[in-house]
Chains A and B, each alone.
Chain A
């Protein structure tokens, strides 16, 4: 069994990188390997935006990541500074920054870049999308 860390830089909508990252993650688990965390960086942090409302016949990457994480207990980690710059806030960041609204739910943990660095150190493989 190998340990993977996955970095997602592609946004929730407008790029297909996040879709491929999820398919790759599903395949990692199907092949009996482990995912340390899926780390969302750059525009990838928008995948945690719970306010995305695609039409019912369109793919909903936020919901897909959420379901994947819950089903397989895979940690999803947002880079908090990349998220804040792009208007992706959890309740805690909203309070700390004096904002009335937030859009990132608890399926995605806000963390620092340090978690990516530590994850890379522990992992057998890093793959970015």
Chain B
């Protein structure tokens, strides 16, 4: 078993990287890898409630975020600098996630075996 961190740094819907990163996260977890997710930059927008991806021509992959605990993905970190930059509050997040400082993310990147960025 390896520990893997998947970093999301792109906005939802403009590209498919968020969706393809989430696919890899869930698959890694189902292969018994220890998976952590990190949302930074505009990717933090993935976590807001009330989104309708269909209106942007995207599959509703965001609903899969709700299922993360079922995959034993319990570590979901959100960059506080990015949240602040976009004027978002922790209370607006639609899933269980920890808003953390850059320093906590640095430590996580160091602690895991591999990091994949989407």
Q: Do chains A and B make direct contact within the complex (CB under 8 angstroms)?
A: yes
With a CB–CB cut-off of 8 A, which chain A residues contact B23? 81, 113
Chain B, 1-52, CB within 8 A of any chain A CB: 1-2, 4, 16-17, 20, 23-24, 27-28, 31, 33
Stretch at the interface among A19-27, A61-69, A120-128: A120-128
The chain A residue with its CB closest to the CB of B15 is A42
The chain B residue with its CB closest to the CB of A82 is B20
Interface of B is mostly: mixed
- A110 located at the interface, meaning its Cβ lies under 8 Å from any Cβ of chain B in the complex: no
Interface of A is mostly: helix
- Least CB distance from A45 to B in Å reads 11
Query: Are A117 and B114 closer than 8 Å at their CB atoms?
Result: no
The chain B residue with its CB closest to the CB of A126 is B114
Q: In the docked arrangement, what's the CA distance between A63 and B16, Å?
A: 27
Contact check: which of A81, A114, A118, A120 meets B4 at CB < 8 Å? Answer: A120
Binding site for A on B (CB under 8 A): 1-2, 4, 16-17, 20, 23-24, 27-28, 31, 33, 114, 116-117
